Every structure is written in C-alpha cells, then in structure tokens.
Amino acid sequence: MDLSALSRYRFRSVWDLPAPPAAVYAALERAEEYPLWWPQVRSVTPLDETSGVAVFRSFLPYALTVTAREQRRDPAGGVLEIAMSGDLDGWARWTVTARGGGTRAVYDQQVEVRKALMRRFALLGRPVFVANHAWMMRGGRRGLSAHLQPV
C-alpha cells in the first residue's frame, strides 16, 4: 500500500448562494476578509498583492497554515485559483456561475498534507480529516450566504 497516497486529498464542494455571481466572486476574491464570515478561517495575512498566509482550524484540535499564491484571477470566467504550500501543498479553485436567481460556487481542491501529525495518522485519521473538511466547508457556505444578504 502506498502510504503517501493516504496524505493526498481531492475535494469538491458546491455552494448554491442567493446572490448574484458578481457579488459572490467579489467576496471570494477578498481572501483577507474570509475570517469575517468563515468561522474556520482564523486569519489571512497578505504578503503582497497576490499572496498571503492563511490559518484554518475546524473541529479537530489543530490548525493548518498555508501560504497561498494567486495562479489565476478571471472575473469574466468566474475563476479564482491559488497554489498552496506549507501544511498543505497543492491547489484550490473557485468557479462561480449563475444558477437560477443566484449563484453556484464550486470549490475544487487537490492537496497533499505535509503536517507531520496528519501524515502520522493518515491511515486511521483519513475519514475524520475528510469529515473535518466537510464541516469547514459547510461553515463557509453558511457564513458567505449570511454575509451576502442585504442588511
């Protein structure tokens, strides 16, 4: 069995949101504001115009720290993509499209875990790590949906 494969993850989350695509895209491209509406994103510290350091923590008692670097910003195509390094190495992409009277935001991520604790428990912990990610994404969807509601 290839134990390093147990440290590789592919995720896809689909968020249907009650706001226009331009508003959703605008919120998603302002990563430094994620902690305002996404409870599991603890901090985002810009390094320059196209990169920053983010800290995430979901229900498990550890945080993940990554450096994110913009790879693609395409407002016309509704795409935002980053490369990640640190506790997670890989990439993540938002694809934003109109759907009905609102927006569908699709989050795709492919990463390899570098955090020693998670690698050590890769075999037994994998289902818990996947559940932890799903819980984080549900928190983000709820937070963004509330954030986008008119006051």
- Spell out the SS3 assignment of 59-111: CCCCCEEEEEEEEEEECCCCEEEEEEEECEEEEEEEEEEEECCEEEEEEEEEE
Task: Provide the pLDDT confidence category of residue 114 given band limits of 50, 70 and 90.
Answer: confident
In degrees and rounded to multiples of 5, residue 117 shows phi and psi of -60, -45
Model confidence at 119: pLDDT above 90? no
- Report the percent of the chain where pLDDT is more than 70: 97
Region for 143 from its dihedrals, namely left if φ exceeds 0, alpha if ψ lies in -120 to 50, beta otherwise: alpha
Q: In the beta sheet, which residues pair with residue 55?
A: 43, 65
How many domains, in total, are found in the chain? 1
Per the structure, the complete domain to which residue 137 belongs is given by 3-147
| 130, 12 Cβ separation under 8 angstroms | no
Per-residue confidence (pLDDT) for residue 126, from 0 to 100:
84
Contact predicate 97/16, CB 8 Å: no
Residue 3 confidence (pLDDT)? 60
Q: Kindly report the CATH number assigned to the domain that includes residue 127.
A: 3.30.530.20
Question: What does pLDDT average to over the chain?
Answer: 93
The residue type of 121 is F
Residues contacting 71, CB < 8 A, separation 6+: 81, 82, 83, 91
pLDDT band for position 93 (cuts 50, 70, 90): very high
